[in-house]
Amino acid sequence: MYNQVTHDVEVSVMPVYIDERSNPEESSYFWAYRVVIRNHGQETLQLISRFWLITDANGKQERVTGAGVVGEQPVLKPGEEFEYTSGCPLTTSSGIMAGHYLMKRKDGSTLTVKIPAFSLDLPDIDPIYN
C-alpha cells in the first residue's frame, strides 16, 4: 500500500498485477489499482480532475489527464472517503505511476492533492538493487 497526505487529504493506492489480462509473449501487461481518498480536513472538497504520469521500464512516459475519476467528480465532506478501481496497461513488465488530483473547495478555490508514486511490478520477481 502506498500513502500520501496533502492538505489533510490522504490518498492510498494498492496496485495488483492482473495475469488474466496480460500476455507477456506479446509484451502486454496489465495492472489494476485501488485508490482510497480520505478527507481528514475540516472543509468539503470536490475532486475536479486528475493527472497521471506513467513511466514504463524503458523510460517512456505517458501523461493522462481528465475530469474526475472513473466518470465521477466525488464530493468529500470532512471525514468521508471515496474509493475506486482503475487499470493501467503497459508494454513492459514494470513501471511507475504518480500524479495528483485537483480538488475544489466550497469557495471555488482549488488545491492540488498528490497521489503517491507507486510501482507496477510483476509478482514473484526478485527486485534488482543498485
Give the closest residue to 81 by CA, choosing from 13, 33, 15, 35. Answer: 35
pLDDT over 80 at 33, yes or no: yes
How many residues can be counted in the chain? 130
* Number of Cα atoms under 13 Å in the Cβ half of residue 7: 16
Q: What φ, ψ does residue 26 adopt, rounded to 5°? A: -110, 20
**Which CATH code of 2.60.40.10, 2.60.40.1470, 3.40.50.300, 3.60.20.10 fits the domain covering 2-116?**
2.60.40.1470
pLDDT tens-digit series, residues 74-122: 999 999 999 999 999 999 999 999 999 999 999 999 999 999 999 999 8
Q: 36-70 pLDDT, tens per residue? A: 999 999 999 999 999 999 999 999 999 999 999 99
Grid coordinates belonging to 111: 488545491
Confidence of residue 130 (pLDDT cuts 50, 70, 90): very low
List the grid coordinates of 48: 475536479
